[in-house]
Amino acid sequence: MSTKAEATIEDLYQVPGDGKAEIVDGEILLMSPTGDLPSSAAFEIAVSLRQYSRRTKLGRAYTDNAAFIVNLPNRRSFSPDAAFYIGPRTGAKFLEGAPVFAVEVRSEGDYGRKAESRMARKRAEYFAAGTLVVWDVDVLVEELVRSYRADDSNHPIVFHRGDLANAEPALPAWSMPVDDLFA
């Protein structure tokens, strides 16, 4: 019987090539790069969040590959595609605690029964860690944003092209056009 040591935050700092990864179920979970539309959509969201941060002087926007360290039974970190965080700066170290708003943009492999189950579990873990709103952004198939709130996590608000999507209550008075995700 072999026993495998659980991955540590120090292991996360040592991921080869500074790749995107999370610690889930005691293991380093490497995440593949993404393509054109998912990447540009995440960037558009981060730019809008940065504008919000500058306007309100609250928190900071983060792009893909920022690591947020949490202490959950089966998860030690998140690396959303875009996020808004109100905690203290940590210099070159990973951020401590969950973002108040996290964005997960679907890539080609994020469809089907297994993917839906994996994403639902991750949303529940975001909420358990203190995230208030999680967006599930689909720019490839349905062209919409599902906004899940911690206080009603089973009933997302759905935003379509032509709508202004928001992240209430995490980010009061912030919204962005869904159409910007396709610019």
Instruction: Give the chain's domains with CATH numbers.
Output: 34-68+76-182 (3.90.1570.10)
DSSP per-residue codes, 71-84: EETTEEEE--SEEE
Cα dihedral value 120, 153, 126, 46, nearest 10 = 100
Residues 93-120: tens digit of each pLDDT: 999 999 999 999 999 999 999 999 999 9
Bridge-based pairing of strands 68-72 and 75-78 is antiparallel
Regarding beta strands 144-149 and 152-160, do their DSSP bridges make them parallel or antiparallel, or are they unpaired? antiparallel
Give the number of other Cβ atoms within 10 Å of residue 2's Cβ. Answer: 3
Pairing mode of beta strands 101-105, 144-149 = unpaired
pTM: 0.93
Tens digits of pLDDT across the chain (183 residues): 556 789 989 989 888 876 788 889 988 888 888 899 999 999 999 999 999 999 999 999 999 989 999 999 999 999 999 999 999 999 999 999 999 999 999 999 999 999 999 999 999 999 999 999 999 999 999 999 999 999 999 999 999 999 999 999 999 999 999 999 998
22, burial (CB in 10 Å: exposed 0-12, middle 13-18, buried 19+): buried
Cα–Cα dist 43/25, whole Å = 29
- pLDDT for residue 183: 85
What does the chain look like in DSSP terms, one character per residue? ---PPPP-HHHHHT-GGG--EEEETTEEEE-----HHHHHHHHHHHHHHHHHHHHH---EEEETT--EEEEETTEEEE--SEEEE-S---TTSPEES--SEEEEE--TTS-SHHHHHHHHHHHHHHHHHT--EEEEEESSSS-EEEEEETTEEEEEEEEETTSEEE-TTTSTT-EEEGGGGG-
* Model pLDDT, residue 130: 98
